[in-house]
Protein backbone atom coordinates (compact mmCIF):
# COMPACT_ATOMS: atom_id res chain seq x y z
CA UNK A 1 0.00 0.00 0.00
CA UNK A 2 1.31 3.46 -0.88
CA UNK A 3 2.06 5.80 2.02
CA UNK A 4 0.38 8.71 0.23
CA UNK A 5 -2.48 8.23 -2.19
CA UNK A 6 -4.06 11.18 -3.97
CA UNK A 7 -6.82 10.45 -6.45
CA UNK A 8 -8.69 12.97 -8.60
CA UNK A 9 -8.19 15.62 -5.98
CA UNK A 10 -10.03 18.91 -6.39
CA UNK A 11 -10.14 22.01 -4.26
CA UNK A 12 -11.99 25.24 -4.98
CA UNK A 13 -11.79 28.47 -3.02
CA UNK A 14 -14.60 30.96 -2.99
CA UNK A 15 -13.51 34.56 -2.72
CA UNK A 16 -15.44 37.83 -2.66
CA UNK A 17 -14.56 40.64 -5.02
CA UNK A 18 -15.13 44.39 -4.78
CA UNK A 19 -15.59 46.71 -1.84
CA UNK A 20 -19.00 45.48 -0.81
CA UNK A 21 -17.90 41.92 -1.58
CA UNK A 22 -21.11 40.89 -3.26
CA UNK A 23 -19.41 39.32 -6.28
CA UNK A 24 -18.23 35.81 -5.64
CA UNK A 25 -15.46 34.17 -7.59
CA UNK A 26 -14.51 30.50 -7.56
CA UNK A 27 -10.81 29.70 -7.81
CA UNK A 28 -10.05 26.16 -8.93
CA UNK A 29 -6.79 25.76 -6.99
CA UNK A 30 -6.61 21.99 -7.56
CA UNK A 31 -8.49 20.80 -10.63
CA UNK A 32 -7.51 17.13 -10.88
CA UNK A 33 -4.41 15.68 -9.29
CA UNK A 34 -3.56 12.01 -8.75
CA UNK A 35 -0.31 10.46 -7.53
CA UNK A 36 1.05 7.94 -5.06
CA UNK A 37 4.15 8.05 -2.89
CA UNK A 38 5.92 4.95 -1.56
CA UNK A 39 7.55 4.45 1.85
CA UNK A 40 10.97 6.09 2.17
CA UNK A 41 10.58 8.11 -1.01
CA UNK A 42 11.49 11.77 -1.32
CA UNK A 43 8.77 13.09 -3.59
CA UNK A 44 8.96 16.59 -5.05
CA UNK A 45 6.04 18.79 -6.07
CA UNK A 46 7.21 21.44 -8.53
CA UNK A 47 5.17 24.15 -10.16
CA UNK A 48 4.89 27.91 -10.56
CA UNK A 49 3.35 30.22 -7.98
CA UNK A 50 -0.30 29.44 -7.58
CA UNK A 51 -0.01 25.94 -9.10
CA UNK A 52 -1.72 24.34 -6.11
CA UNK A 53 1.27 22.87 -4.25
CA UNK A 54 0.56 24.36 -0.82
CA UNK A 55 -3.14 23.56 -1.12
CA UNK A 56 -2.22 19.92 -1.83
CA UNK A 57 0.08 19.80 1.19
CA UNK A 58 -2.57 21.43 3.36
CA UNK A 59 -5.08 18.75 2.38
CA UNK A 60 -2.58 15.95 2.99
CA UNK A 61 -1.76 17.35 6.42
CA UNK A 62 -5.48 17.62 7.34
CA UNK A 63 -5.43 21.42 7.47
CA UNK A 64 -7.77 21.87 4.51
CA UNK A 65 -10.73 19.87 3.27
CA UNK A 66 -10.78 18.78 -0.37
CA UNK A 67 -13.73 19.79 -2.53
CA UNK A 68 -13.76 16.27 -4.00
CA UNK A 69 -11.46 13.32 -4.66
CA UNK A 70 -9.44 11.19 -2.32
CA UNK A 71 -6.43 11.99 -0.14
CA UNK A 72 -5.21 9.09 2.00
CA UNK A 73 -2.01 9.04 4.08
CA UNK A 74 -0.84 5.90 5.89
CA UNK A 75 -4.23 4.38 5.19
CA UNK A 76 -6.09 7.22 6.91
CA UNK A 77 -8.43 9.49 5.09
CA UNK A 78 -7.08 13.05 5.41
CA UNK A 79 -10.58 14.33 5.85
CA UNK A 80 -12.48 12.31 8.43
CA UNK A 81 -9.60 10.53 10.14
CA UNK A 82 -7.54 13.59 11.07
CA UNK A 83 -7.00 12.58 14.67
CA UNK A 84 -5.37 9.22 13.90
CA UNK A 85 -3.33 10.72 11.09
CA UNK A 86 -1.99 13.81 12.86
CA UNK A 87 -0.08 11.69 15.39
CA UNK A 88 1.86 9.99 12.59
CA UNK A 89 2.78 12.92 10.34
CA UNK A 90 4.29 16.35 10.65
CA UNK A 91 4.88 19.35 8.41
CA UNK A 92 7.14 22.33 8.08
CA UNK A 93 6.29 25.38 6.05
CA UNK A 94 9.53 27.12 5.01
CA UNK A 95 10.08 30.51 6.58
CA UNK A 96 7.21 30.00 9.04
CA UNK A 97 7.43 31.48 12.49
CA UNK A 98 5.92 28.79 14.64
CA UNK A 99 8.83 28.81 17.10
CA UNK A 100 8.73 30.73 20.36
CA UNK A 101 11.55 33.22 20.11
CA UNK A 102 11.76 33.97 23.82
CA UNK A 103 12.22 30.28 24.66
CA UNK A 104 15.40 28.26 24.28
CA UNK A 105 15.79 25.70 21.51
CA UNK A 106 15.35 22.93 24.07
CA UNK A 107 12.22 24.47 25.62
CA UNK A 108 10.68 24.97 22.17
CA UNK A 109 11.08 21.30 21.37
CA UNK A 110 9.88 20.36 24.84
CA UNK A 111 6.71 22.40 24.28
CA UNK A 112 6.01 20.72 20.93
CA UNK A 113 6.77 17.29 22.43
CA UNK A 114 4.07 17.97 25.02
CA UNK A 115 1.59 18.96 22.31
CA UNK A 116 2.18 15.57 20.68
CA UNK A 117 2.02 13.76 24.06
CA UNK A 118 5.56 12.43 23.72
CA UNK A 119 6.08 10.30 26.87
CA UNK A 120 8.32 11.92 29.51
CA UNK A 121 10.68 8.93 29.56
CA UNK A 122 11.68 9.42 25.89
CA UNK A 123 11.33 13.18 25.68
CA UNK A 124 14.78 14.31 26.90
CA UNK A 125 16.65 11.77 24.79
CA UNK A 126 14.63 12.60 21.71
CA UNK A 127 15.15 16.35 22.05
CA UNK A 128 18.89 15.92 22.51
CA UNK A 129 19.12 13.58 19.56
CA UNK A 130 17.15 15.96 17.34
CA UNK A 131 19.22 18.99 18.36
CA UNK A 132 22.40 17.04 17.59
CA UNK A 133 20.99 15.94 14.25
CA UNK A 134 20.34 19.50 13.12
CA UNK A 135 23.69 20.69 14.48
CA UNK A 136 22.26 22.67 17.41
CA UNK A 137 23.38 20.35 20.20
CA UNK A 138 25.58 23.03 21.74
CA UNK A 139 22.87 25.70 21.41
CA UNK A 140 20.15 23.87 23.35
CA UNK A 141 19.90 26.51 26.05
CA UNK A 142 20.16 29.54 23.73
CA UNK A 143 17.02 31.55 23.08
CA UNK A 144 15.68 31.24 19.53
CA UNK A 145 15.75 35.05 19.13
CA UNK A 146 19.54 34.83 19.09
CA UNK A 147 19.52 32.35 16.20
CA UNK A 148 20.29 33.08 12.54
CA UNK A 149 17.66 32.28 9.91
CA UNK A 150 19.46 29.03 9.05
CA UNK A 151 19.58 27.95 12.68
CA UNK A 152 15.87 28.70 13.06
CA UNK A 153 15.10 26.70 9.93
CA UNK A 154 17.10 23.75 11.25
CA UNK A 155 15.25 24.00 14.54
CA UNK A 156 12.01 23.93 12.54
CA UNK A 157 13.12 20.61 11.09
CA UNK A 158 13.75 19.31 14.60
CA UNK A 159 10.33 20.66 15.60
CA UNK A 160 8.78 18.71 12.73
CA UNK A 161 10.32 15.52 14.02
CA UNK A 162 9.31 15.66 17.70
CA UNK A 163 6.56 13.08 17.19
CA UNK A 164 8.89 10.81 15.16
CA UNK A 165 6.56 11.11 12.15
CA UNK A 166 6.40 8.45 9.47
CA UNK A 167 5.66 11.07 6.85
CA UNK A 168 7.09 14.57 6.71
CA UNK A 169 5.71 17.37 4.53
CA UNK A 170 8.07 20.23 3.71
CA UNK A 171 6.84 23.32 1.90
CA UNK A 172 9.88 25.15 0.48
CA UNK A 173 12.20 23.97 3.26
CA UNK A 174 15.33 25.82 2.09
CA UNK A 175 13.72 29.13 1.16
CA UNK A 176 15.87 32.05 2.23
CA UNK A 177 18.83 29.95 3.32
CA UNK A 178 22.40 30.57 2.23
CA UNK A 179 24.00 27.84 0.06
CA UNK A 180 25.72 26.17 3.02
CA UNK A 181 22.58 26.24 5.16
CA UNK A 182 20.54 24.83 2.29
CA UNK A 183 23.09 22.08 1.70
CA UNK A 184 23.04 21.10 5.38
CA UNK A 185 19.27 20.93 5.29
CA UNK A 186 19.31 18.77 2.16
CA UNK A 187 21.72 16.40 3.90
CA UNK A 188 19.33 16.12 6.84
CA UNK A 189 16.40 15.45 4.49
CA UNK A 190 18.36 12.65 2.77
CA UNK A 191 19.30 11.16 6.10
CA UNK A 192 15.65 11.13 7.19
CA UNK A 193 14.67 9.33 4.01
CA UNK A 194 17.44 6.75 4.49
CA UNK A 195 15.94 6.10 7.93
CA UNK A 196 12.69 5.15 6.22
CA UNK A 197 10.70 8.37 6.55
CA UNK A 198 8.58 9.36 3.60
CA UNK A 199 9.05 12.95 2.54
CA UNK A 200 6.93 15.12 0.29
CA UNK A 201 8.41 18.52 -0.43
CA UNK A 202 7.87 21.53 -2.62
CA UNK A 203 10.66 23.70 -3.93
CA UNK A 204 11.27 26.32 -6.59
CA UNK A 205 14.94 25.30 -6.82
CA UNK A 206 15.34 22.87 -9.71
CA UNK A 207 18.82 21.75 -8.72
CA UNK A 208 17.57 20.99 -5.26
CA UNK A 209 14.72 18.88 -6.61
CA UNK A 210 17.15 17.10 -8.91
CA UNK A 211 19.55 16.32 -6.10
CA UNK A 212 16.98 15.30 -3.50
CA UNK A 213 13.91 13.80 -5.06
CA UNK A 214 13.41 10.18 -6.05
CA UNK A 215 10.44 11.26 -8.13
CA UNK A 216 9.09 14.61 -9.22
CA UNK A 217 5.59 15.78 -10.05
CA UNK A 218 5.26 18.97 -12.09
CA UNK A 219 1.93 20.69 -11.59
CA UNK A 220 0.43 23.82 -13.06
CA UNK A 221 -2.99 25.42 -12.66
CA UNK A 222 -4.04 22.61 -10.36
CA UNK A 223 -3.24 19.82 -12.80
CA UNK A 224 -0.48 17.25 -13.04
CA UNK A 225 1.66 17.71 -16.14
CA UNK A 226 4.46 15.20 -15.56
CA UNK A 227 5.48 12.62 -12.99
CA UNK A 228 8.68 10.61 -13.06
CA UNK A 229 12.26 10.39 -11.85
CA UNK A 230 14.41 13.35 -12.78
CA UNK A 231 16.44 11.11 -15.12
CA UNK A 232 13.35 9.91 -16.98
CA UNK A 233 11.94 13.44 -17.20
CA UNK A 234 15.20 14.57 -18.79
CA UNK A 235 15.24 11.61 -21.16
CA UNK A 236 11.74 12.46 -22.30
CA UNK A 237 12.77 15.82 -23.63
CA UNK A 238 15.43 16.07 -26.30
CA UNK A 239 18.44 15.46 -24.26
CA UNK A 240 20.92 18.15 -25.20
CA UNK A 241 20.98 21.91 -25.31
CA UNK A 242 23.21 24.28 -27.23
CA UNK A 243 23.28 27.73 -25.70
CA UNK A 244 24.40 30.60 -27.87
CA UNK A 245 24.79 34.22 -26.86
CA UNK A 246 24.39 36.64 -29.74
CA UNK A 247 24.52 40.42 -29.96
CA UNK A 248 21.98 40.75 -32.75
CA UNK A 249 18.99 38.67 -33.77
CA UNK A 250 18.30 38.63 -37.52
CA UNK A 251 14.77 38.22 -38.74
CA UNK A 252 15.17 34.77 -40.25
CA UNK A 253 17.59 33.34 -37.66
CA UNK A 254 15.01 31.31 -35.78
CA UNK A 255 13.54 29.89 -38.95
CA UNK A 256 16.96 28.85 -40.19
CA UNK A 257 17.89 27.23 -36.90
CA UNK A 258 14.59 25.39 -36.68
CA UNK A 259 15.19 24.01 -40.17
CA UNK A 260 18.41 22.26 -39.14
CA UNK A 261 17.93 18.53 -38.81
CA UNK A 262 17.95 17.34 -35.14
CA UNK A 263 16.92 20.77 -33.82
CA UNK A 264 13.64 20.36 -31.93
CA UNK A 265 13.07 23.82 -30.55
CA UNK A 266 14.63 27.23 -30.04
CA UNK A 267 13.90 29.60 -27.14
CA UNK A 268 14.99 33.22 -27.19
CA UNK A 269 15.88 34.84 -23.87
CA UNK A 270 16.92 38.52 -23.96
CA UNK A 271 19.97 39.21 -21.78
CA UNK A 272 22.73 41.77 -21.17
CA UNK A 273 24.64 40.74 -24.28
CA UNK A 274 21.60 40.82 -26.55
CA UNK A 275 19.97 37.43 -26.64
CA UNK A 276 20.55 33.92 -25.39
CA UNK A 277 19.29 31.20 -27.74
CA UNK A 278 18.49 27.87 -26.10
CA UNK A 279 18.53 25.29 -28.86
CA UNK A 280 17.07 21.89 -27.93
CA UNK A 281 18.52 19.19 -30.11
CA UNK A 282 19.75 15.67 -30.61
CA UNK A 283 23.28 14.89 -31.85
CA UNK A 284 24.65 18.30 -30.80
CA UNK A 285 28.21 17.52 -31.95
CA UNK A 286 26.99 16.72 -35.42
CA UNK A 287 25.08 19.97 -35.88
CA UNK A 288 27.35 22.37 -34.02
CA UNK A 289 29.09 23.59 -37.17
CA UNK A 290 25.76 23.99 -39.00
CA UNK A 291 24.49 26.14 -36.17
CA UNK A 292 27.65 28.20 -36.26
CA UNK A 293 27.18 28.72 -40.02
CA UNK A 294 23.60 29.84 -39.61
CA UNK A 295 24.61 32.34 -36.95
CA UNK A 296 27.54 33.85 -38.83
CA UNK A 297 25.74 37.18 -39.21
CA UNK A 298 24.45 37.35 -35.67
CA UNK A 299 27.60 38.44 -33.94
CA UNK A 300 28.05 35.35 -31.75
CA UNK A 301 29.60 36.01 -28.34
CA UNK A 302 29.64 32.49 -26.90
CA UNK A 303 28.41 29.03 -27.67
CA UNK A 304 28.26 26.02 -25.38
CA UNK A 305 26.82 22.54 -25.39
CA UNK A 306 25.34 20.82 -22.36
CA UNK A 307 23.01 18.04 -21.30
CA UNK A 308 19.39 19.00 -20.54
CA UNK A 309 18.73 19.89 -16.90
CA UNK A 310 15.60 19.55 -14.82
CA UNK A 311 15.11 23.29 -15.34
CA UNK A 312 14.95 22.70 -19.11
CA UNK A 313 12.28 20.06 -18.52
CA UNK A 314 10.36 22.36 -16.20
CA UNK A 315 10.48 25.31 -18.58
CA UNK A 316 9.42 23.14 -21.46
CA UNK A 317 6.42 21.82 -19.55
CA UNK A 318 5.37 25.04 -17.86
CA UNK A 319 6.44 27.28 -20.73
CA UNK A 320 5.91 30.97 -20.15
CA UNK A 321 2.43 30.35 -18.82
CA UNK A 322 2.25 31.62 -15.27
CA UNK A 323 -1.36 32.69 -15.07
CA UNK A 324 -3.17 30.83 -12.31
N1 LIG B 1 -7.42 30.89 1.20
C2 LIG B 1 -7.50 31.10 -0.10
N3 LIG B 1 -8.54 31.79 -0.64
C4 LIG B 1 -8.64 32.00 -1.96
N5 LIG B 1 -7.75 31.57 -2.86
C6 LIG B 1 -6.69 30.87 -2.41
C7 LIG B 1 -6.51 30.60 -1.02
N8 LIG B 1 -5.37 29.89 -0.86
C9 LIG B 1 -4.86 29.71 -2.11
N10 LIG B 1 -5.66 30.30 -3.03
C11 LIG B 1 -5.46 30.30 -4.50
O12 LIG B 1 -5.32 28.94 -4.93
C13 LIG B 1 -4.34 28.83 -5.94
C14 LIG B 1 -3.29 27.82 -5.51
O15 LIG B 1 -2.58 28.34 -4.41
P16 LIG B 1 -1.42 27.53 -3.66
O17 LIG B 1 -0.98 28.34 -2.48
O18 LIG B 1 -1.86 26.14 -3.40
O19 LIG B 1 -0.27 27.51 -4.78
P20 LIG B 1 1.28 27.16 -4.67
O21 LIG B 1 1.56 26.26 -5.81
O22 LIG B 1 1.62 26.67 -3.32
O23 LIG B 1 1.98 28.56 -4.93
P24 LIG B 1 3.37 29.18 -4.35
O25 LIG B 1 4.48 28.55 -5.14
O26 LIG B 1 3.23 30.63 -4.67
O27 LIG B 1 3.43 28.90 -2.88
C28 LIG B 1 -3.82 30.23 -6.19
O29 LIG B 1 -4.53 30.79 -7.28
C30 LIG B 1 -4.16 30.97 -4.91
O31 LIG B 1 -4.37 32.34 -5.16
Q: What is the 3-state secondary structure (H, E, C) of the chain?
A: CCCEEEEEEEEEEEEEECCCCCEEEEEEEEEEEEEEECCCCEEEEECCCCCCHHHHHHHHCCCCCCCEEEEEECCEECCCCHHHHHCCEEEEECCCCCCCCCCEHHHHHHHHHHHCCCCHHHHHHHHHHHHHHCCCHHHCCCEHHHCCHHHHHHHHHHHCCCCCCCEEEEECCCCCCCHHHHHHHHHHHHHHHHCCCEEEEECCCHHHHHHHCCEEEEEECCEEEEEECHHHHHHHCCCEEEEEEECCCCCCHHHHHHCCCCEEEEEEEECCCCEEEEEEECCHHHHHHHHHHHCCCCCEEEEEEEECCHHHHHHHHHCCCCCC
- Give, using CA atoms, the residue closest to atom 11 of ligand 1: 29
**Number of neighbours of residue 24 by Cβ within 10 angstroms:** 9
On whether residue 312 sits in a domain, the answer given is no
Q: Which of 180, 215, 234 is the last residue of a domain?
A: 234
On whether residue 324 sits in a domain, the answer given is no
The CATH number covering residue 141 comes to 3.40.50.300
230, 293: one domain: no
The CA-CA-CA angle for residues 314, 316, 319, to 5°, reads 95
The minimum-distance atom of ligand 1 relative to the CA of 48 is 25
- Give, using CA atoms, the residue closest to atom 28 of ligand 1: 50
257, 220: one domain: no
Q: Residue 131 has what pLDDT? A: 96
Q: Residue 120 has what pLDDT? A: 92
Q: Residue 323 has what pLDDT? A: 43
82, 218: one domain: yes
Which residues form the domain of 259?
238-307
What is the whole-number distance in angstroms between the Cα of residue 139 and the centre of ligand 1? 36
Q: Residue 324 has what pLDDT? A: 39
Band of pLDDT at residue 178, cut at 50, 70 and 90:
confident
The DSSP bridge pattern shows strands 275-281 and 263-270 to be: antiparallel
> Which of 25, 32, 45, 55 for a ligand 1 pocket mutation test, highest count of atoms within 8 Å of Cβ?
55
Closest by Cα among 103, 141, 109 to 126: 109
The minimum-distance atom of ligand 1 relative to the CA of 11 is 12
Q: Residue 11 has what pLDDT? A: 97
Q: Residue 293 has what pLDDT? A: 87
Q: Which of 234, 257, 275 is the last residue of a domain?
A: 234
pLDDT greater than 90 at residue 280: no
Is the alpha carbon torsion for 166, 171, 175, 179 positive or negative? positive
Band of pLDDT at residue 189, cut at 50, 70 and 90:
very high
Please, what is the average pLDDT of the chain? Answer: 91
132, 242: one domain: no
The minimum-distance atom of ligand 1 relative to the CA of 324 is 29
On whether residue 26 sits in a domain, the answer given is yes
Compute CA 162 distance to the chain's CA centroid, rounded to the nearest angstrom. Answer: 23
277, 156: one domain: no
The CATH number covering residue 250 comes to 3.30.70.260
How many domains, the chain?
2
The minimum-distance atom of ligand 1 relative to the CA of 222 is 14
On whether residue 150 sits in a domain, the answer given is yes
On whether residue 300 sits in a domain, the answer given is yes
Band of pLDDT at residue 177, cut at 50, 70 and 90:
confident
On whether residue 289 sits in a domain, the answer given is yes
Q: Which of 234, 269, 286 is the last residue of a domain?
A: 234
The minimum-distance atom of ligand 1 relative to the CA of 219 is 21
254, 220: one domain: no
198, 281: one domain: no
Dist CA 114 CA 96 (whole Å): 20
What is the whole-number distance in angstroms between the Cα of residue 172 and the centre of ligand 1? 14
Spatial contact of 257 and 320, defined as CB atoms under 8 Å apart = no
> Which of 9, 21, 28, 51 for a ligand 1 pocket mutation test, highest count of atoms within 8 Å of Cβ?
51
Closest by Cα among 198, 192, 216 to 2: 198
On whether residue 313 sits in a domain, the answer given is no
152, 287: one domain: no
Ligand 1 interacting residues, C-beta cut-off 6 A: 13, 15, 27, 29, 47, 49-55, 324
The CA-CA-CA angle for residues 149, 41, 227, to 5°, reads 100
288, 177: one domain: no
Determine the average pLDDT of the residues in 214-241: 90
What is the whole-number distance in angstroms between the Cα of residue 324 and the centre of ligand 1? 9
What is the whole-number distance in angstroms between the Cα of residue 54 and the centre of ligand 1? 7
114, 215: one domain: yes
**Number of neighbours of residue 215 by Cβ within 10 angstroms:** 18
Q: Residue 20 has what pLDDT? A: 66
Question: Could you read off the pLDDT of 53-65 as tens digits, one per residue?
Answer: 999 999 999 999 9
23, 141: one domain: yes
Question: Could you read off the pLDDT of 88-123 as tens digits, one per residue?
Answer: 999 998 766 789 989 999 999 999 999 999 999 999
On whether residue 198 sits in a domain, the answer given is yes
- Give, using CA atoms, the residue closest to atom 4 of ligand 1: 13
20, 85: one domain: yes
- Give, using CA atoms, the residue closest to atom 16 of ligand 1: 52
- Give, using CA atoms, the residue closest to atom 12 of ligand 1: 29
CA distances from 221 to 48, 166, 173 (A): 9, 29, 22
Amino acid sequence: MSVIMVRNLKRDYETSLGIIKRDKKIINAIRDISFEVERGEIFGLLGPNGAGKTSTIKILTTLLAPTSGQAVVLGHNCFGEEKELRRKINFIFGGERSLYWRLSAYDNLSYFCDLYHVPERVKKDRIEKLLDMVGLGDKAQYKVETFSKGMKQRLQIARGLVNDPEVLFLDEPTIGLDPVGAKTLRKIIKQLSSEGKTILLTTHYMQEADELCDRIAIINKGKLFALNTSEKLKENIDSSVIEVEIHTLKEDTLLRLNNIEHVTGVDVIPNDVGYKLKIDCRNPRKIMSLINDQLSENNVKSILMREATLEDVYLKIIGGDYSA
